[in-house]
Amino acid sequence: MGAAATIERGGAGPPRPGPRYFPVAPVRPRASLPQGAEKGGAVPQARVSGRKVNWRDAGAGPPVILLHCSSSHSGQWKALIEALQSGFRCLAPDLHGYGRSDGLAADGRAYGPQDAAIVAYLLDQAGAPAHLVGHSLGGTVALRAALEWPDKVRSLTLIEPVLFGLLEAADDPDRIEYLQIAHDILVLMHFGRPAEAAQRFTDFWMGPGAFDAAGSDTQAYIVDTMPRVADDWLGISRLAPDSLGVADPGRLAVPCHLVESEHSRPSVKRIMELLRGALPEATCSQVPGAGHMAPVTHPERTNAIVAAFLRGH
Protein backbone atom coordinates (compact mmCIF):
# COMPACT_ATOMS: atom_id res chain seq x y z
CA MET A 1 0.00 0.00 0.00
CA GLY A 2 1.42 3.36 -1.01
CA ALA A 3 1.72 5.96 1.72
CA ALA A 4 0.99 8.83 -0.68
CA ALA A 5 -2.32 7.30 -1.77
CA THR A 6 -3.58 6.80 1.75
CA ILE A 7 -2.51 10.27 2.84
CA GLU A 8 -4.47 11.77 -0.06
CA ARG A 9 -7.46 9.67 0.91
CA GLY A 10 -7.27 10.99 4.45
CA GLY A 11 -7.40 14.58 3.24
CA ALA A 12 -4.02 15.74 4.58
CA GLY A 13 -0.56 16.19 3.17
CA PRO A 14 2.62 14.51 4.38
CA PRO A 15 3.54 15.12 8.04
CA ARG A 16 5.71 18.16 8.52
CA PRO A 17 7.61 19.68 11.44
CA GLY A 18 5.76 22.46 13.22
CA PRO A 19 5.20 24.09 16.59
CA ARG A 20 3.99 20.78 18.05
CA TYR A 21 6.62 18.82 16.07
CA PHE A 22 3.83 16.67 14.59
CA PRO A 23 0.66 17.68 12.75
CA VAL A 24 -2.68 17.08 14.39
CA ALA A 25 -4.76 14.18 13.15
CA PRO A 26 -6.73 15.15 10.05
CA VAL A 27 -10.49 15.15 9.79
CA ARG A 28 -11.20 12.07 7.71
CA PRO A 29 -13.95 11.49 5.14
CA ARG A 30 -16.45 8.70 5.71
CA ALA A 31 -14.73 6.49 3.11
CA SER A 32 -11.66 6.03 5.28
CA LEU A 33 -13.49 4.27 8.12
CA PRO A 34 -13.33 0.46 8.09
CA GLN A 35 -16.49 -1.39 7.14
CA GLY A 36 -18.93 -1.89 10.00
CA ALA A 37 -17.99 1.35 11.72
CA GLU A 38 -21.54 2.65 11.38
CA LYS A 39 -23.25 -0.10 13.37
CA GLY A 40 -24.05 -0.21 17.07
CA GLY A 41 -26.44 2.49 18.26
CA ALA A 42 -27.50 6.02 17.37
CA VAL A 43 -24.70 8.49 16.58
CA PRO A 44 -25.34 11.87 18.23
CA GLN A 45 -23.00 14.82 17.68
CA ALA A 46 -21.92 17.85 19.69
CA ARG A 47 -19.07 20.34 19.89
CA VAL A 48 -16.59 19.76 22.71
CA SER A 49 -13.42 21.83 23.09
CA GLY A 50 -14.59 23.67 19.99
CA ARG A 51 -14.49 20.57 17.80
CA LYS A 52 -17.12 18.16 16.48
CA VAL A 53 -17.45 14.97 18.54
CA ASN A 54 -19.55 11.92 17.66
CA TRP A 55 -20.55 9.09 19.97
CA ARG A 56 -22.76 6.00 20.02
CA ASP A 57 -25.75 5.97 22.34
CA ALA A 58 -27.64 2.72 22.89
CA GLY A 59 -29.64 0.99 25.61
CA ALA A 60 -31.24 2.12 28.84
CA GLY A 61 -30.20 1.86 32.47
CA PRO A 62 -27.13 2.91 34.46
CA PRO A 63 -24.76 4.76 32.11
CA VAL A 64 -21.51 3.18 30.87
CA ILE A 65 -18.96 5.27 28.97
CA LEU A 66 -16.68 3.19 26.72
CA LEU A 67 -13.34 4.63 25.60
CA HIS A 68 -11.42 3.07 22.71
CA CYS A 69 -7.69 2.61 22.09
CA SER A 70 -5.39 4.47 19.69
CA SER A 71 -6.03 4.07 15.94
CA SER A 72 -9.52 2.81 16.73
CA HIS A 73 -12.99 4.32 17.11
CA SER A 74 -16.24 3.69 18.98
CA GLY A 75 -17.02 0.73 16.74
CA GLN A 76 -14.48 -1.20 18.80
CA TRP A 77 -17.23 -1.61 21.40
CA LYS A 78 -20.04 -2.79 19.09
CA ALA A 79 -20.23 -6.31 20.56
CA LEU A 80 -19.99 -5.06 24.15
CA ILE A 81 -22.74 -2.52 23.51
CA GLU A 82 -24.97 -5.29 22.17
CA ALA A 83 -24.25 -7.37 25.28
CA LEU A 84 -24.94 -4.52 27.72
CA GLN A 85 -27.71 -2.44 26.18
CA SER A 86 -30.56 -4.45 27.70
CA GLY A 87 -29.47 -3.28 31.16
CA PHE A 88 -27.22 -0.27 30.63
CA ARG A 89 -27.13 2.92 28.63
CA CYS A 90 -23.92 2.70 26.60
CA LEU A 91 -22.15 5.90 25.49
CA ALA A 92 -19.11 5.30 23.29
CA PRO A 93 -17.39 8.39 21.88
CA ASP A 94 -14.93 8.73 19.04
CA LEU A 95 -12.05 10.50 20.76
CA HIS A 96 -10.61 13.60 19.07
CA GLY A 97 -9.06 12.73 15.72
CA TYR A 98 -10.56 9.25 15.59
CA GLY A 99 -13.69 7.86 13.95
CA ARG A 100 -15.93 10.76 12.96
CA SER A 101 -14.72 13.21 15.61
CA ASP A 102 -12.58 16.16 14.58
CA GLY A 103 -8.94 16.41 15.49
CA LEU A 104 -7.80 19.42 17.46
CA ALA A 105 -6.74 22.63 15.77
CA ALA A 106 -2.98 23.20 15.56
CA ASP A 107 -2.97 25.52 18.55
CA GLY A 108 -0.81 23.55 20.96
CA ARG A 109 -3.64 21.94 22.91
CA ALA A 110 -2.78 18.49 24.24
CA TYR A 111 -5.15 15.62 23.54
CA GLY A 112 -5.29 14.15 27.05
CA PRO A 113 -7.27 16.91 28.79
CA GLN A 114 -9.40 17.47 25.67
CA ASP A 115 -10.32 13.78 25.47
CA ALA A 116 -11.21 13.95 29.15
CA ALA A 117 -13.46 16.91 28.32
CA ILE A 118 -15.44 14.56 26.05
CA VAL A 119 -15.95 12.27 29.05
CA ALA A 120 -17.00 15.25 31.18
CA TYR A 121 -19.58 16.20 28.56
CA LEU A 122 -20.96 12.66 28.43
CA LEU A 123 -21.03 12.44 32.24
CA ASP A 124 -23.28 15.50 32.21
CA GLN A 125 -25.40 13.99 29.43
CA ALA A 126 -25.75 10.74 31.37
CA GLY A 127 -27.50 12.45 34.26
CA ALA A 128 -26.18 9.93 36.81
CA PRO A 129 -22.81 8.58 37.93
CA ALA A 130 -21.41 6.44 35.12
CA HIS A 131 -19.24 3.38 34.84
CA LEU A 132 -16.07 4.17 32.88
CA VAL A 133 -14.43 1.49 30.74
CA GLY A 134 -11.20 2.32 28.92
CA HIS A 135 -8.80 0.25 26.84
CA SER A 136 -5.17 1.26 26.28
CA LEU A 137 -5.28 4.99 25.40
CA GLY A 138 -8.92 5.00 26.51
CA GLY A 139 -7.79 3.70 29.88
CA THR A 140 -5.59 6.76 30.40
CA VAL A 141 -8.55 9.00 29.52
CA ALA A 142 -10.85 7.08 31.88
CA LEU A 143 -8.32 7.33 34.71
CA ARG A 144 -7.93 11.07 34.19
CA ALA A 145 -11.71 11.53 34.29
CA ALA A 146 -12.11 9.39 37.41
CA LEU A 147 -9.44 11.41 39.21
CA GLU A 148 -10.96 14.74 38.17
CA TRP A 149 -14.68 13.99 38.63
CA PRO A 150 -14.95 11.13 41.17
CA ASP A 151 -18.46 12.16 42.24
CA LYS A 152 -19.71 11.47 38.71
CA VAL A 153 -18.03 8.07 38.33
CA ARG A 154 -19.65 4.87 39.58
CA SER A 155 -16.78 2.50 38.76
CA LEU A 156 -13.61 2.37 36.68
CA THR A 157 -12.51 -0.51 34.44
CA LEU A 158 -9.00 -0.20 33.03
CA ILE A 159 -8.04 -2.64 30.27
CA GLU A 160 -4.26 -2.36 30.06
CA PRO A 161 -4.04 1.46 30.18
CA VAL A 162 -0.83 2.64 28.52
CA LEU A 163 0.46 4.64 31.48
CA PHE A 164 4.07 4.43 30.33
CA GLY A 165 4.89 7.53 32.33
CA LEU A 166 4.52 5.37 35.45
CA LEU A 167 7.51 3.34 34.28
CA GLU A 168 9.54 6.51 33.80
CA ALA A 169 8.53 7.83 37.21
CA ALA A 170 9.64 4.53 38.77
CA ASP A 171 12.84 4.47 36.67
CA ASP A 172 11.75 0.97 35.68
CA PRO A 173 13.92 -0.92 33.16
CA ASP A 174 10.81 -2.04 31.24
CA ARG A 175 10.45 1.55 30.06
CA ILE A 176 13.10 0.80 27.41
CA GLU A 177 10.56 -1.18 25.36
CA TYR A 178 8.16 1.76 25.32
CA LEU A 179 10.88 4.30 24.58
CA GLN A 180 12.09 2.28 21.58
CA ILE A 181 8.68 1.99 19.90
CA ALA A 182 7.91 5.63 20.66
CA HIS A 183 11.23 6.67 19.11
CA ASP A 184 10.58 4.60 15.99
CA ILE A 185 7.09 6.03 15.45
CA LEU A 186 8.06 9.64 16.11
CA VAL A 187 11.08 9.50 13.79
CA LEU A 188 9.10 7.84 10.97
CA MET A 189 6.36 10.46 11.28
CA HIS A 190 8.88 13.29 11.36
CA PHE A 191 10.29 12.13 8.04
CA GLY A 192 6.87 11.72 6.41
CA ARG A 193 6.63 7.92 6.43
CA PRO A 194 3.22 7.26 8.06
CA ALA A 195 2.67 3.87 6.38
CA GLU A 196 5.87 2.52 7.91
CA ALA A 197 4.94 4.04 11.26
CA ALA A 198 1.53 2.36 11.04
CA GLN A 199 3.12 -1.01 10.33
CA ARG A 200 5.57 -0.63 13.23
CA PHE A 201 2.80 0.45 15.58
CA THR A 202 0.37 -2.32 14.61
CA ASP A 203 2.95 -5.10 14.69
CA PHE A 204 4.20 -3.92 18.08
CA TRP A 205 0.77 -4.45 19.63
CA MET A 206 -0.55 -7.37 17.58
CA GLY A 207 2.54 -9.28 16.47
CA PRO A 208 4.70 -9.41 13.33
CA GLY A 209 2.71 -9.36 10.11
CA ALA A 210 -0.48 -8.02 11.70
CA PHE A 211 -0.52 -4.84 9.64
CA ASP A 212 0.08 -6.66 6.35
CA ALA A 213 -2.72 -9.11 7.22
CA ALA A 214 -5.26 -6.33 7.84
CA GLY A 215 -7.76 -5.33 5.17
CA SER A 216 -7.04 -2.35 2.96
CA ASP A 217 -9.69 -0.17 4.66
CA THR A 218 -8.23 -0.94 8.08
CA GLN A 219 -4.70 -0.24 6.86
CA ALA A 220 -5.78 3.09 5.37
CA TYR A 221 -7.51 4.08 8.60
CA ILE A 222 -4.47 3.24 10.73
CA VAL A 223 -2.16 5.19 8.43
CA ASP A 224 -4.58 8.11 8.49
CA THR A 225 -4.61 8.22 12.29
CA MET A 226 -0.85 8.01 12.81
CA PRO A 227 -0.39 11.77 13.39
CA ARG A 228 -2.78 11.47 16.34
CA VAL A 229 -0.99 8.28 17.48
CA ALA A 230 2.31 10.18 17.50
CA ASP A 231 0.73 12.80 19.73
CA ASP A 232 -0.60 10.00 21.95
CA TRP A 233 2.90 8.65 22.51
CA LEU A 234 4.10 12.09 23.56
CA GLY A 235 1.07 12.67 25.76
CA ILE A 236 1.46 9.48 27.79
CA SER A 237 5.14 10.05 28.50
CA ARG A 238 6.37 11.67 31.66
CA LEU A 239 7.79 14.53 29.59
CA ALA A 240 4.35 15.95 28.83
CA PRO A 241 3.40 18.64 31.37
CA ASP A 242 -0.14 17.26 31.70
CA SER A 243 0.90 13.60 31.63
CA LEU A 244 -0.66 11.02 33.90
CA GLY A 245 2.79 9.51 34.31
CA VAL A 246 3.23 11.30 37.61
CA ALA A 247 -0.37 10.87 38.75
CA ASP A 248 -1.18 8.89 41.87
CA PRO A 249 -3.73 6.17 41.00
CA GLY A 250 -3.99 5.48 44.73
CA ARG A 251 -6.14 8.61 45.01
CA LEU A 252 -8.99 6.85 43.21
CA ALA A 253 -12.11 6.76 45.32
CA VAL A 254 -14.28 4.50 43.13
CA PRO A 255 -14.44 0.71 42.66
CA CYS A 256 -11.71 -0.30 40.21
CA HIS A 257 -11.35 -3.25 37.85
CA LEU A 258 -7.94 -3.98 36.34
CA VAL A 259 -8.07 -6.20 33.24
CA GLU A 260 -4.83 -7.70 31.93
CA SER A 261 -4.18 -10.00 28.99
CA GLU A 262 -2.23 -13.22 29.35
CA HIS A 263 0.22 -12.48 26.55
CA SER A 264 0.74 -8.73 26.61
CA ARG A 265 3.96 -6.73 26.24
CA PRO A 266 6.42 -6.81 29.20
CA SER A 267 6.14 -3.04 29.64
CA VAL A 268 2.34 -3.24 29.88
CA LYS A 269 2.51 -6.15 32.31
CA ARG A 270 4.76 -4.01 34.51
CA ILE A 271 2.28 -1.13 34.34
CA MET A 272 -0.47 -3.48 35.50
CA GLU A 273 1.76 -4.68 38.34
CA LEU A 274 2.31 -1.09 39.46
CA LEU A 275 -1.42 -0.40 39.30
CA ARG A 276 -2.20 -3.47 41.40
CA GLY A 277 0.26 -2.21 43.98
CA ALA A 278 -1.34 1.25 43.99
CA LEU A 279 -4.89 -0.17 44.08
CA PRO A 280 -4.76 -3.17 46.44
CA GLU A 281 -8.56 -3.35 46.70
CA ALA A 282 -9.14 -3.41 42.94
CA THR A 283 -10.77 -6.39 41.26
CA CYS A 284 -8.21 -8.02 38.96
CA SER A 285 -9.02 -10.13 35.90
CA GLN A 286 -7.07 -11.76 33.09
CA VAL A 287 -8.13 -12.46 29.51
CA PRO A 288 -6.69 -15.91 28.74
CA GLY A 289 -4.89 -16.41 25.45
CA ALA A 290 -5.05 -12.73 24.50
CA GLY A 291 -2.57 -9.95 23.91
CA HIS A 292 -2.93 -6.20 24.38
CA MET A 293 -5.71 -5.90 21.81
CA ALA A 294 -8.00 -8.31 23.67
CA PRO A 295 -11.20 -6.25 23.16
CA VAL A 296 -10.64 -6.61 19.40
CA THR A 297 -9.08 -10.07 19.10
CA HIS A 298 -10.93 -11.80 21.97
CA PRO A 299 -14.17 -9.80 22.35
CA GLU A 300 -16.31 -12.58 23.82
CA ARG A 301 -13.88 -13.32 26.66
CA THR A 302 -13.12 -9.66 27.31
CA ASN A 303 -16.74 -8.55 27.18
CA ALA A 304 -17.84 -11.29 29.58
CA ILE A 305 -15.23 -10.16 32.11
CA VAL A 306 -16.20 -6.49 31.77
CA ALA A 307 -19.95 -7.15 31.87
CA ALA A 308 -19.70 -9.32 35.00
CA PHE A 309 -17.96 -6.53 36.90
CA LEU A 310 -20.40 -3.86 35.75
CA ARG A 311 -23.41 -5.96 36.72
CA GLY A 312 -21.95 -6.40 40.19
CA HIS A 313 -21.43 -2.69 40.76
Is the CB of residue 136 less than 8 Å from the CB of residue 292?
Answer: yes
Look at strands 51-58 and 63-67 and give their pairing.
unpaired
Q: Which residues of the chain register pLDDT less than 70?
A: 1-42, 105-109, 235-248
Q: What are phi and psi of 174, to 5 degrees?
A: -70, -10
What count of other Cβ atoms lies within 10 Å of the Cβ of residue 126? 19
Structural domains for the chain: 3-311 (3.40.50.1820)
User: What pLDDT shows up at residue 107?
Assistant: 62
Q: What is the pTM of this model?
A: 0.85
Give the Å distances, CA to CA, from 98 to 45, 62, 159, 177: 14, 26, 19, 26
Q: Which residues pair with 31 in a beta bridge?
A: none
Per-residue pLDDT at 16: 28
Give the dihedral sign, CA 73/212/193/205: positive
Name which of 82, 145, 96 is nearest 119 in CA terms: 145
**How much is the pLDDT for 246?**
47
CB 196 within 8 A of CB 172: no
Strand-strand pairing, 89-93 and 45-48: unpaired
